[in-house]
Structure 1
Amino acid sequence: MRSKGGKTIRLNPVDEDHQVTDHPARANLEALMDQKLFAQRIRSERSAAYWFAASLWGVSGLVLGAILGAYMMFMAMDSALPLASEAVTRGIAVENARNSVDNRDPILSDPARPQPQP
Protein backbone atom coordinates (compact mmCIF):
# COMPACT_ATOMS: atom_id res chain seq x y z
CA MET A 1 0.00 0.00 0.00
CA ARG A 2 0.99 3.48 -0.67
CA SER A 3 -0.49 6.62 0.67
CA LYS A 4 -0.62 9.97 -1.01
CA GLY A 5 -2.12 12.96 0.63
CA GLY A 6 -4.48 11.13 2.84
CA LYS A 7 -5.90 8.99 0.04
CA THR A 8 -4.94 5.33 -0.07
CA ILE A 9 -4.23 3.68 -3.43
CA ARG A 10 -4.04 -0.05 -3.63
CA LEU A 11 -1.92 -1.61 -6.36
CA ASN A 12 -2.47 -5.21 -7.22
CA PRO A 13 0.32 -7.18 -8.87
CA VAL A 14 -0.20 -8.38 -12.44
CA ASP A 15 -1.28 -11.97 -12.66
CA GLU A 16 1.65 -13.91 -14.17
CA ASP A 17 -0.37 -17.05 -14.76
CA HIS A 18 -2.75 -15.41 -17.18
CA GLN A 19 -3.23 -17.84 -20.08
CA VAL A 20 -4.25 -16.79 -23.56
CA THR A 21 -6.85 -19.12 -24.89
CA ASP A 22 -6.53 -20.17 -28.52
CA HIS A 23 -9.29 -20.19 -31.03
CA PRO A 24 -10.61 -23.74 -31.48
CA ALA A 25 -10.07 -23.61 -35.25
CA ARG A 26 -6.51 -22.28 -34.97
CA ALA A 27 -4.97 -25.63 -35.91
CA ASN A 28 -7.17 -25.79 -39.01
CA LEU A 29 -6.24 -22.21 -39.95
CA GLU A 30 -2.54 -22.94 -39.53
CA ALA A 31 -2.88 -26.09 -41.62
CA LEU A 32 -4.68 -24.09 -44.30
CA MET A 33 -1.96 -21.43 -44.28
CA ASP A 34 0.70 -24.12 -44.47
CA GLN A 35 -1.06 -25.65 -47.48
CA LYS A 36 -1.24 -22.26 -49.17
CA LEU A 37 2.44 -21.58 -48.52
CA PHE A 38 3.34 -25.05 -49.76
CA ALA A 39 1.26 -24.59 -52.94
CA GLN A 40 2.88 -21.19 -53.51
CA ARG A 41 6.33 -22.73 -53.04
CA ILE A 42 5.50 -25.51 -55.53
CA ARG A 43 4.29 -22.94 -58.09
CA SER A 44 7.47 -20.95 -57.61
CA GLU A 45 9.67 -24.02 -58.06
CA ARG A 46 7.67 -25.15 -61.10
CA SER A 47 7.99 -21.69 -62.65
CA ALA A 48 11.74 -21.73 -62.06
CA ALA A 49 11.98 -25.19 -63.63
CA TYR A 50 10.00 -24.05 -66.68
CA TRP A 51 12.21 -21.00 -67.13
CA PHE A 52 15.32 -23.15 -66.78
CA ALA A 53 14.06 -25.65 -69.34
CA ALA A 54 13.01 -22.91 -71.76
CA SER A 55 16.34 -21.13 -71.50
CA LEU A 56 18.23 -24.42 -71.82
CA TRP A 57 16.29 -25.38 -74.96
CA GLY A 58 16.65 -21.86 -76.32
CA VAL A 59 20.41 -21.73 -75.85
CA SER A 60 20.80 -25.29 -77.14
CA GLY A 61 18.76 -24.46 -80.23
CA LEU A 62 20.77 -21.31 -80.81
CA VAL A 63 24.09 -23.15 -80.58
CA LEU A 64 22.85 -26.05 -82.72
CA GLY A 65 21.47 -23.60 -85.31
CA ALA A 66 24.76 -21.72 -85.47
CA ILE A 67 26.74 -24.94 -85.92
CA LEU A 68 24.35 -26.29 -88.55
CA GLY A 69 24.29 -22.94 -90.37
CA ALA A 70 28.09 -22.76 -90.44
CA TYR A 71 28.28 -26.34 -91.74
CA MET A 72 25.69 -25.67 -94.47
CA MET A 73 27.50 -22.49 -95.52
CA PHE A 74 30.78 -24.40 -95.68
CA MET A 75 29.19 -27.14 -97.80
CA ALA A 76 27.61 -24.56 -100.14
CA MET A 77 30.90 -22.73 -100.50
CA ASP A 78 32.80 -25.97 -101.01
CA SER A 79 30.42 -27.10 -103.75
CA ALA A 80 30.41 -23.65 -105.40
CA LEU A 81 34.20 -23.27 -105.51
CA PRO A 82 34.75 -25.53 -108.55
CA LEU A 83 32.04 -23.67 -110.47
CA ALA A 84 33.47 -20.29 -109.55
CA SER A 85 37.00 -21.43 -110.38
CA GLU A 86 35.84 -22.75 -113.75
CA ALA A 87 34.03 -19.48 -114.49
CA VAL A 88 37.12 -17.44 -113.63
CA THR A 89 39.30 -19.72 -115.76
CA ARG A 90 36.89 -19.40 -118.69
CA GLY A 91 36.83 -15.63 -118.30
CA ILE A 92 40.63 -15.48 -118.33
CA ALA A 93 40.75 -17.76 -121.40
CA VAL A 94 38.20 -15.59 -123.24
CA GLU A 95 40.11 -12.42 -122.36
CA ASN A 96 43.42 -13.95 -123.53
CA ALA A 97 41.81 -15.10 -126.79
CA ARG A 98 40.31 -11.63 -127.37
CA ASN A 99 43.69 -9.96 -126.75
CA SER A 100 45.41 -12.46 -129.05
CA VAL A 101 42.94 -11.78 -131.88
CA ASP A 102 43.08 -8.00 -131.33
CA ASN A 103 46.91 -7.97 -131.47
CA ARG A 104 47.12 -10.10 -134.62
CA ASP A 105 47.78 -8.44 -137.97
CA PRO A 106 44.59 -8.18 -139.96
CA ILE A 107 44.26 -10.22 -143.13
CA LEU A 108 42.29 -7.49 -144.86
CA SER A 109 43.27 -3.91 -144.36
CA ASP A 110 40.61 -1.66 -142.91
CA PRO A 111 41.03 1.98 -143.97
CA ALA A 112 39.26 3.20 -140.78
CA ARG A 113 41.72 1.38 -138.57
CA PRO A 114 45.19 2.86 -138.22
CA GLN A 115 47.99 0.51 -139.20
CA PRO A 116 50.67 -0.30 -136.63
CA GLN A 117 54.12 1.03 -137.48
CA PRO A 118 56.84 -1.67 -137.81
Structure 2
Amino acid sequence: MMKLLIQHNQALKRAARLIIAYEMRLGVISLAENNPIHPANTEDIHQEIKQALTAFHYWRKWRGENEPARAVLLQMWASGKWTNRDTCVRQCYRLAGFKNMVTARQALVGAPPPEPLAIQRQRAMWAKP
Protein backbone atom coordinates (compact mmCIF):
# COMPACT_ATOMS: atom_id res chain seq x y z
CA MET A 1 0.00 0.00 0.00
CA MET A 2 2.77 2.39 0.89
CA LYS A 3 4.47 1.79 -2.46
CA LEU A 4 1.26 2.68 -4.29
CA LEU A 5 0.81 5.80 -2.17
CA ILE A 6 4.38 6.86 -2.94
CA GLN A 7 3.80 6.27 -6.66
CA HIS A 8 0.61 8.32 -6.47
CA ASN A 9 2.48 11.14 -4.77
CA GLN A 10 5.26 11.05 -7.38
CA ALA A 11 2.76 11.09 -10.27
CA LEU A 12 1.01 14.12 -8.80
CA LYS A 13 4.33 15.91 -8.39
CA ARG A 14 5.25 15.16 -12.03
CA ALA A 15 1.87 16.46 -13.22
CA ALA A 16 2.28 19.60 -11.11
CA ARG A 17 5.79 20.18 -12.48
CA LEU A 18 4.49 19.90 -16.06
CA ILE A 19 1.67 22.33 -15.41
CA ILE A 20 4.03 24.79 -13.69
CA ALA A 21 6.49 24.57 -16.61
CA TYR A 22 3.71 25.26 -19.13
CA GLU A 23 2.35 28.13 -17.07
CA MET A 24 5.78 29.72 -16.72
CA ARG A 25 6.29 29.64 -20.49
CA LEU A 26 2.81 30.33 -21.80
CA GLY A 27 0.61 31.66 -19.00
CA VAL A 28 -2.21 30.00 -17.09
CA ILE A 29 -3.38 26.73 -18.63
CA SER A 30 -7.03 25.96 -19.11
CA LEU A 31 -7.44 22.34 -20.15
CA ALA A 32 -11.13 22.84 -20.95
CA GLU A 33 -10.69 25.68 -23.43
CA ASN A 34 -8.81 25.85 -26.71
CA ASN A 35 -6.36 28.67 -26.30
CA PRO A 36 -4.24 29.61 -29.33
CA ILE A 37 -1.32 30.58 -27.07
CA HIS A 38 -0.99 27.03 -25.71
CA PRO A 39 0.21 24.08 -27.75
CA ALA A 40 -2.49 21.88 -29.21
CA ASN A 41 -0.86 18.74 -27.83
CA THR A 42 -1.39 18.69 -24.09
CA GLU A 43 -1.28 14.89 -24.13
CA ASP A 44 1.61 14.78 -21.65
CA ILE A 45 -0.40 16.73 -19.09
CA HIS A 46 -3.51 14.63 -19.64
CA GLN A 47 -1.46 11.42 -19.38
CA GLU A 48 0.13 12.47 -16.08
CA ILE A 49 -3.24 13.46 -14.64
CA LYS A 50 -4.80 10.20 -15.82
CA GLN A 51 -1.98 8.15 -14.26
CA ALA A 52 -2.30 10.01 -10.97
CA LEU A 53 -6.06 9.51 -10.87
CA THR A 54 -5.72 5.81 -11.71
CA ALA A 55 -3.11 5.29 -9.00
CA PHE A 56 -5.30 7.10 -6.49
CA HIS A 57 -8.35 5.04 -7.54
CA TYR A 58 -6.49 1.76 -6.99
CA TRP A 59 -5.15 2.94 -3.65
CA ARG A 60 -8.62 4.04 -2.48
CA LYS A 61 -10.20 0.78 -3.67
CA TRP A 62 -7.61 -1.31 -1.84
CA ARG A 63 -7.98 0.77 1.31
CA GLY A 64 -11.79 0.54 1.25
CA GLU A 65 -11.96 -3.21 0.71
CA ASN A 66 -9.28 -4.20 3.19
CA GLU A 67 -9.52 -1.60 5.93
CA PRO A 68 -11.65 -3.70 8.36
CA ALA A 69 -9.39 -6.74 7.86
CA ARG A 70 -6.31 -4.54 8.24
CA ALA A 71 -7.57 -3.19 11.56
CA VAL A 72 -8.15 -6.73 12.86
CA LEU A 73 -4.71 -7.89 11.69
CA LEU A 74 -3.02 -4.87 13.30
CA GLN A 75 -4.79 -5.66 16.55
CA MET A 76 -3.60 -9.28 16.37
CA TRP A 77 -0.03 -8.13 15.66
CA ALA A 78 -0.13 -5.63 18.55
CA SER A 79 -1.06 -8.42 20.97
CA GLY A 80 2.58 -9.54 20.97
CA LYS A 81 1.80 -13.21 20.43
CA TRP A 82 4.05 -13.48 17.37
CA THR A 83 7.75 -12.78 17.15
CA ASN A 84 7.66 -11.47 13.57
CA ARG A 85 5.14 -10.16 11.06
CA ASP A 86 5.46 -13.09 8.65
CA THR A 87 4.46 -15.62 11.29
CA CYS A 88 1.53 -13.44 12.33
CA VAL A 89 0.34 -13.15 8.73
CA ARG A 90 0.71 -16.88 8.00
CA GLN A 91 -1.39 -17.83 11.01
CA CYS A 92 -3.96 -15.03 11.00
CA TYR A 93 -4.64 -13.71 7.52
CA ARG A 94 -7.86 -15.70 7.05
CA LEU A 95 -9.05 -14.95 10.57
CA ALA A 96 -8.59 -11.26 9.89
CA GLY A 97 -10.55 -11.43 6.63
CA PHE A 98 -7.87 -11.31 3.95
CA LYS A 99 -8.07 -13.55 0.89
CA ASN A 100 -4.33 -14.01 0.48
CA MET A 101 -1.16 -13.67 2.50
CA VAL A 102 0.50 -11.14 0.18
CA THR A 103 -2.20 -8.53 0.74
CA ALA A 104 -2.21 -9.24 4.46
CA ARG A 105 1.57 -8.86 4.64
CA GLN A 106 1.33 -5.51 2.84
CA ALA A 107 -1.17 -4.39 5.46
CA LEU A 108 1.44 -4.90 8.18
CA VAL A 109 4.14 -2.92 6.40
CA GLY A 110 5.02 0.02 8.60
CA ALA A 111 3.06 -1.28 11.59
CA PRO A 112 4.79 -0.49 14.87
CA PRO A 113 6.23 -3.44 16.80
CA PRO A 114 4.14 -4.76 19.67
CA GLU A 115 4.66 -3.26 23.08
CA PRO A 116 7.29 -5.07 25.16
CA LEU A 117 4.81 -5.69 27.99
CA ALA A 118 2.42 -7.46 25.63
CA ILE A 119 5.24 -9.71 24.45
CA GLN A 120 6.32 -10.48 28.01
CA ARG A 121 2.74 -11.34 29.02
CA GLN A 122 2.38 -13.71 26.07
CA ARG A 123 5.68 -15.44 26.86
CA ALA A 124 4.68 -15.77 30.53
CA MET A 125 1.37 -17.36 29.54
CA TRP A 126 3.09 -19.93 27.33
CA ALA A 127 5.92 -20.66 29.77
CA LYS A 128 5.80 -24.07 31.40
CA PRO A 129 5.24 -24.08 35.18
TM-score by length of 2: 0.31
Q: Which of the pair is proportionally richer in helix?
A: 2
Q: Which has the higher contact order (CA 8 A, sep 6+)?
A: 2
Q: Which of the pair is proportionally richer in strand?
A: 1
Larger radius of gyration between Structure 1 and Structure 2: 1
